[in-house]
Structures are given as structure tokens and as C-alpha cells.
Chains A and B, each alone.
Chain A
Amino acid sequence: MINILESIFKNLASWGLPVLMVITGIIEFSLGLYENKWNKNERILDIVCFVIPKIVVKPAIVYFTLLVLPLLLPGYKNKFDWVPFWWAFFIIAVADDLTQYWYHRLHHQVPWLWRFHRTHHSASYMGMAMASRQNIIYTIFFSQMYLTAALTYLGLGYAALFVTGIKSLITTAAHASIKWDQPFYKYKFLHPFAWILERLISTPATHHAHHADTTDDGVGHYKGNFGNMFFIWDVIFQTGIITRKYPSSYGTKAYKNEEWYAQFLWPIFKSQKKGSELSSDGPMVADGITDNIDLRVKKDETSMAASI
């Protein structure tokens, strides 16, 4: 058993993480954490989103790294391999995750970008599959992947491997329906650790708030809590709230159970559902849910975030 676990973690960047995610998913399903919400359309979408990017996107990234970077940065291969490991780790962790924070935040705050990210929020449940549930265009332009590839080319590859592994574990755990952070809020002697943990990394409490279908109930906060690995960005930019509670419902109010292929491949394939944000004549952002996009910075949000 120990050998199996060791093997999984040694190969985290390749097959190890998918295996961990599948195991987590099986546990979630067995515990009934998906309730009756995982219908056929959702099942197909989650599985397609889990599998296809790994087959298509990852090889494309490798191609980019091996062929394009030497043309763009000739003579710079391994130029910075002298950087000590922990400094490289720190540099990559910040560069990678801060870039992803911005990529994510802009998809919520720029109306035109919302539909490329909507798929990630459409599910009415949380689970490990949410970490990979994304529109393919959003995945392809995951800007931080290219930044990380470039840093790897420059000689920081070993540290990049560690950052990728740790980040994947944190983001999967933050999306999972297993609330691993709950003991930290329940037991008083763990509260000091909770204070540090919830401000540093994404936890189920802070990230589930981001996936809530409400933002006015004192728990849900889809207009913020954008952090992926680090929640510290939401603290710095006052885009986060910390409540140590979990939303009662998830998803987006404008969800019309759009076809899985439309959610995965929009705008290549569009939804036939009338009035859908993903239909050919649908709105960029549906009426009545303008709060899905942070069109205003509310004073109470700023003061609430300041209390963090």
C-alpha cells in the first residue's frame, strides 16, 4: 500500500494526480455527496472535461515547450538553472498562481469572457470533477501553463514540477465535496491554524463560496474568492470573504442544463436552449443575473473584505 502511494506521488505530474482524482471521485460518489444531481448530461460533461484536455492539451503544451520556445528565446535553455530550488519554487508559485488568479478574475469581471468560464460554474454540486470541468477554449488559453512551460525551459523545471503537484492537490481538494477543512473550524485549538490556512491557500469553505449560486446570503461569493492555490491574492486585492461556512446551493441561476458538447466546446458548438447564454442568439450575460459579473464594487464588499 505504501509502495502504491509512493508511486502515485512520485508520478504526480503524469498519471498520479488523475489516479488521486478518480479515487476521490469514487469516494465522493460512494458517500452520496453528488445526491441525485449527477445526471447523464453532467456525467458526460465531467468525464469529457477530465479526459480530453489530458489527451489533447498536455501534448500541445509539450510541443510548445520543445519547439516554439527555442525559437522565441534562443540560447536561453536552462539559462537560469543556477537558481536555488526553494527560490525557484517561490518564483514559480507566485508567477503561476497570480497569473491564474488574474485569468480567472477577468473571466468573471469582463462580460465578454464569462461564457468561456461559465461551464466551470454551471454544476449544482461540488466534487473533484469540478477542478477539471472547463470549456476547452478556457483550458487551451490557461495562460499560466505557458508561463510555467517557459520557466521550465529557462531551467526552473524541477521546482515547476513541485509547484504543479502541490497546486493540483490544493485545487482538487478545494473543489472536492469532502470538507477536509471543517475540523479546523470545529475545534478551538485548531483555530490559529485555520486563520493562517484560510488566508494562505484555497480551502473548501472559501472556494465553495465562489461556486455558490448566490452572493447575498453571507456565505456565497461568486463575485470574488478567485484564488486557485493561494487565497492570499483575494486578501491582498480585497476580492475575498472568509466565513468558515459552506453554501447551501451551487451553480448559476441562468443554467438551463445546456448540452454537454455546447458547454465543453462553445462557441464551436452552441446550445439549442432558447435564451441560453450559450445559444447563438443568447445574451452575453443572462438577465437577472448581472451579479454573475462583478459590474460594481460595492462598499459593503470592500469593508467586509477589509475585515479579513
Chain B
Amino acid sequence: MKLESAVKKKIIRDILVSIVLYVLPVVLMFLTFYINGQRPWLEKTTKTEAKK
């Protein structure tokens, strides 16, 4: 039993949209950091080095 062409096309299209949705929260997070001037990954590195 095969997957019909119309359903297959919709699945492919929706998967492409999904890739954008997956990335969106990460992009928004870095955009917020850029706007606020935050660099939390550096703060972590600084703390780690201070402990050493």
C-alpha cells in the first residue's frame, strides 16, 4: 500500500516548515542575547576558569 502523491508532497512541505520551527527558539534566544548584550556562555567559561 503506497503513500499517495498529494499526501507525500504535503509531508515534505510540512517537514521543511518544521525545520524552521525547530531552529526558531534557538534563533530567538541568540537574538535576545544580541539585543541585550548578554553572553551567558562566556560567563560559564569565566566561572569555570575562576574555579581552576
Contact = CB atoms under 8 A, between A and B. Distances in A.
A81 B17 contact: no
Contact of B44 (A82, A94, A295): A82
A91 B44 CA distance: 20
Contacts of B41: 82
B18 A102 contact: yes
Contacts of A106: 11
B25 A87 contact: yes
A90 B32 CA distance: 14
B14 interface: yes
Given A82-B41, A102-B15, A87 B29 contact: yes
- Categorize the interface residue count of chain A: 20 to 34
Contact of B7 (A84, A90, A91, A295): A295
- Categorize the interface residue count of chain B: 20 to 34
A111 interface: yes
Contacts of A284: 1
Contact of A112 (B1, B4, B6, B21): B1
A161 interface: no
A44 interface: no
Interface string A240-275: 000000000000000000000000000000000000
B14 A237 contact: yes
Contacts of B24: 94
A296 B4 CA distance: 7
Interface of A: 81-84, 87, 90-91, 94-95, 98, 102, 105-106, 109-112, 236-237, 284-285, 293-297
Interface string B10-52: 1100110110011011101100100000001101100000000
B26 A82 contact: no
A83 B29 contact: yes
Given A82-B41, A98-B18, A102-B15, A111 B29 contact: no
A203 B29 CA distance: 29
A237 B11 CA distance: 9
B26 to A, nearest CB: 6
B29 A110 contact: no
Contacts of A294: 7
A37 B50 CA distance: 64
**Which 8 interchain pairs have the tightest Cβ spacing?**
A111-B1, A82-B44, A82-B40, A87-B29, A91-B25, A90-B25, A82-B41, A237-B14
B7 A111 contact: no
Nearest to B6: A297
Contacts of B7: 109, 294-297
B29 A91 contact: yes
A102 to B, nearest CB: 7
A73 to B, nearest CB: 17
A303 to B, nearest CB: 15
Contacts of A83: 29, 40
B1 A81 contact: no
Contacts of B21: 94, 98, 236
B17 A237 contact: yes
A259 B11 CA distance: 33
Contact of B2 (A82, A111, A296): A111
A295 B4 contact: yes
A297 to B, nearest CB: 5
Nearest to A298: B6
A84 B40 contact: yes
